[in-house]
């Protein structure tokens, strides 16, 4: 695990860059030495509006299944559900959650290493399509389907030889555990045809994450459809579904957003084969802007030329900046209350490195962001924390209290879990 990239003195965000209702929620909770702020605030309306707008702009042949792995907080899923066709799940627990939120939604399953208990649970939750990752998984799914007394729709996940699209994580044309190499697909189709409980309906390609190029991503979707149609025709598959994964990026370090309108306009120029559903599985793009991670500064320290703001939290709550190796900007939210008699340490007009409470130097969330002032008792707030935050952390190391999670809306209502 590497430390986040140095911000090299670029400015931290201003407190006024945070939405007013988020500032109000956090300040209302700040200042209690027995209950320091440390956790997530989500606005479900933000996520709901993101997926509503995407669903409205996409062509009618597209289906949108939210990738639950990005954020499993049930109020967010419930807010998005009316605007989705379904959910992409990668475990039995995610399937249970998605089905609890929406009893009739389409469920699509992905991920390597599906065990028989996992497959049994997916079938119990009336899974719609299973993206199969290997020939052994085909046999295992056939066994589970036989035990359940049903026939299961299957797409073969493909690791293509080459795709002209780039992002922070490329999973096509590389040695990865995901899917089958392109040249092994024919043999897998032959094996699947001999299994009575499987119905091969198409292919799944999820070759990139965090792509910011709308034109390239539309071309990637076109390639997925063209390749799937040609392969299905060559091998006698009645093509009914093509999964194109997620992969739409968000600008964690600033810069322009992924142009969803241009993307959808370009998709409108594509005509999939008749009767084929094209399944999109966005996760990060749906929920990133709907979450904020906030933690109280419990100490401010200086050592050998570097100022540190020490949080009541860290990578045990929010590991994203370290895992993704990004310069994740934050804001300092001043808290005027200082309920003790001790001196209040501070750093003024200097670059600051934000660290957590764990006994490892890897517990670093941001390096060398310039702040006008940060004091013990203030709050450090990371926006764009709605994806791969709570779920992606390492909460059990040292056993500190877990991050809490709350929802809040612009009208001030919310809930806690």
Write out the catalytic residue numbers: 359
Task: Please choose, from the candidates 327, 318, 325, the residue with its C-alpha nearest in 3D space to the C-alpha of residue 294.
Answer: 318
Q: Where are the alpha helices (DSSP H) in 213-356?
A: 214-235, 260-267, 284-287, 320-323
Q: Is the dihedral of CA 344, 348, 350, 355 positive or negative?
A: positive
DSSP string for residues in 28-62:
HHTT-TTS--EEEEE-HHHHHHHHHHHHHHS-TTE
**DSSP H or E run through 119:** helix 116-124
Angle between helical axes of 214-235 and 260-267 (0-180°, round to 10):
30
In whole angstroms, give the CA distance from residue 246 to residue 284: 8
Q: Helix, strand or coil for residue 356? A: coil
Query: Cβ-count burial of 175 within 10 angstroms (0-12 exposed, 13-18 middle, 19+ buried)?
Result: exposed
Query: Cβ-count burial of 28 within 10 angstroms (0-12 exposed, 13-18 middle, 19+ buried)?
Result: exposed
Alpha-carbon dihedral of residues 175, 181, 183, 187, nearest 10 degrees? 140
User: 336-353: string of b/e by CB count within 10 Å (b at 16+)?
Assistant: eeeeeeeeebbbeebbbb
The 8-class DSSP code of residue 275 comes to T
- In the block, tokens 């292919």 appear at 203
- Per 3-state DSSP, the chain is made up of helix, strand and coil in percentages (nearest 5) of 30, 25, 40
In whole angstroms, give the CA distance from residue 233 to residue 277: 16
DSSP string for residues in 62-92:
EEEEEEGGG---HHHHHHHGGG-SEEEESSH
Task: Please choose, from the candidates 272, 269, 174, the residue with its C-alpha nearest in 3D space to the C-alpha of residue 215.
Answer: 269
Give the CA distances from residue 246 to residues 87, 137, 208, 306, in Å, rounded to whole numbers and listed in that order: 12, 22, 8, 39
């Amino acid at each position: 695990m590497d430390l986040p990239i140095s911000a090299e003195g670029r400015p931290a965000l201003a407190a006024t860059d945070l939405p007013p209702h988020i500032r109000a929620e956090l300040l209302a909770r700040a200042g209690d030495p027995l209950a320091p702020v440390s956790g997530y605030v989500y606005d479900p309306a933000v996520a709901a509006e993101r997926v509503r707008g995407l669903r409205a702009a996409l062509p009618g042949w597209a289906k949108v299944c939210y990738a639950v792995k990005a954020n499993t907080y049930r109020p967010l899923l419930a807010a998005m559900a009316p605007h989705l066709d379904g959910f992409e799940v990668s475990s039995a627990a995610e399937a249970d959650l998605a089905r609890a939120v929406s009893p009739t939604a389409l469920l699509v399953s992905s991920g390597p290493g599906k065990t028989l208990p996992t497959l049994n649970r997916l079938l119990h939750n009336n899974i719609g399509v299973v993206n199969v990752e290997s020939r052994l998984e085909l046999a295992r799914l056939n066994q589970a389907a036989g035990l359940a007394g049903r026939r299961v729709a299957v797409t073969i996940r493909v690791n293509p030889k080459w795709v002209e699209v780039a992002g922070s994580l490329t999973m096509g044309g590389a040695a990865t555990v995901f899917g089958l190499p392109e040249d092994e697909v024919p043999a897998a189709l032959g094996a699947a045809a001999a299994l009575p409980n499987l119905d091969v309906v198409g292919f799944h390609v999820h070759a990139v994450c965090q792509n910011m190029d709308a034109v390239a991503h539309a071309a990637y979707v076109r390639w997925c459809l063209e390749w799937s149609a040609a392969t299905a025709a060559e091998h006698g598959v009645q093509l009914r579904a093509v999964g194109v994964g997620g992969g739409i990026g968000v600008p964690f370090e600033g810069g322009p957003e992924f142009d969803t309108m241009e993307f959808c306009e370009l998709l409108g120029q594509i005509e999939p084969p008749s009767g084929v559903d094209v399944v999109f599985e966005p996760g990060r793009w749906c929920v990133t802007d709907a979450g904020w991670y906030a933690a109280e500064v419990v100490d401010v320290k200086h050592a050998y030329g570097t100022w540190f703001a020490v949080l009541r939290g860290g990578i045990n709550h929010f590991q994203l900046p370290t895992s993704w190796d990004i310069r994740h900007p934050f804001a300092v939210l001043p808290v005027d209350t200082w309920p003790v008699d001790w001196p209040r340490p501070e750093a003024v007009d200097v670059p600051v490195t934000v660290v957590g409470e764990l006994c490892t130097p890897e517990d670093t969330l941001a390096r060398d962001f310039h702040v006008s002032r940060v004091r013990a008792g203030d709050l450090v707030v990371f926006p764009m924390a709605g994806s791969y935050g709570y779920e992606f952390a390492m909460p059990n190391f040292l056993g500190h209290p877990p991050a809490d999670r709350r929802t809040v809306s612009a009208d001030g209502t919310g809930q806690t879990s």
